[in-house]
Amino acid sequence: MEVAENSPSRQSSIPAPPQQ
């Protein structure tokens, strides 16, 4: 699973913006 740094809504494989 490719999880972003801190993505609250990690669905399939969508490029989520870096929410710091």
Give the DSSP per-residue string, 1-20.
----SS-S---SS-------
> Given this model, what pLDDT does residue 15 score?
73
Q: Is the pTM of this model over 0.85?
A: no
Cα separation, 12 vs 20, in Å, equals 21
> Given this model, what pLDDT does residue 19 score?
67
Q: What is the pLDDT of residues 4-19, one digit of tens each?
A: 566 665 555 667 677 6
